[in-house]
Amino acid sequence: MNNNAVNNSNGNKELAEDLLELGKFYFLNEKYDEAIKVLQKAQKFSTSSADIYYHLGLVYEAKNVLHEAKVMYLRATEIDPRFTLAQEHLDKLVGK
């Protein structure tokens, strides 16, 4: 990998983290549609971030879009099997 690819990768990761923080802010302020848009954008820059999927799950759960919430929590646990918060939310939604 050349330096540009490395720098671009780091830049994408930083952008994804910034978008994740913005998504959390929108979520905490109950601006769920804005949170979804921002978190979906973050996904494009970091497809392997369990945290992004987890927070999307939280937003969908808050909006009572439970199928999407389950999908997001499941994806978070697939990326990071030790992500206990995502697993707890998933278990609650599937009735475990």
Q: Which domain holds residue 86?
A: 3-94
**55 CB-near residues (< 8 Å, 6+ apart):** 20, 23, 24, 27, 35, 39
pLDDT of residue 3: 43
Residue-wise pLDDT tens digits, 29-63: 999 999 999 999 999 999 899 999 999 999 999 99
What's the mean pLDDT in 2-21?
73
Q: How confident is the model at residue 21 (pLDDT cuts 50, 70, 90)?
A: very high
95 burial level (CB within 10 Å; 0-12, 13-18, 19+): exposed
What's the mean pLDDT in 21-35?
98
Number of domains making up the chain? 1
Q: What is the CATH number of the domain that holds 66?
A: 1.25.40.10
Give 30's DSSP letter: T
